[in-house]
Amino acid sequence: MKISEIKMQDILDYLKIDESDADADVRQELATFKDAAVGYVKSYTGLSAEECDKHEDLTVAVFILISDFYDNRAMYLPSNQAQVSKAVENILGLYQMNLL
């Protein structure tokens, strides 16, 4: 699956959220998390959306990021303590173009 093909139902299934629990607020929150995750992947790697779609393993990173955003949405960490999942870091590192 390409990043551009991720649908709300895919996110709900990945997070194991029942359809009946996914009201408009939850869906909006998840859509925001998806946008943030895709933006993070693009920024981290330096790839365009089209280039990201060529690497289906980046979709896994997007799902992991969405899950992390969802699970930790009420947690506050000072910026010096913020951490990215090792799985996400490893996947994104494969495609990192902006090595400055």
Q: What is the pLDDT of residue 11?
A: 98
pLDDT in tens, 62-78: 999 999 989 887 655 55
* Coil/strand/helix, residue 78: coil
Closest of 29, 23, 30, 24 to residue 8, by C-alpha:
30
Q: What is the pLDDT of residue 82?
A: 56
pLDDT in tens, 14-52: 999 999 999 999 999 999 999 999 999 999 899 999 999
Instruction: Estimate to the nearest angstrom the gap between the alpha carbon of 28 and the chain centroid.
Output: 15
* Coil/strand/helix, residue 99: coil
Q: What is the pLDDT of residue 77?
A: 55
Amino acid type, 74: A
Output the six-digit token pair for 79. Answer: 């910026």
* Rounded Cα gap, residues 65 and 60, in angstroms: 9
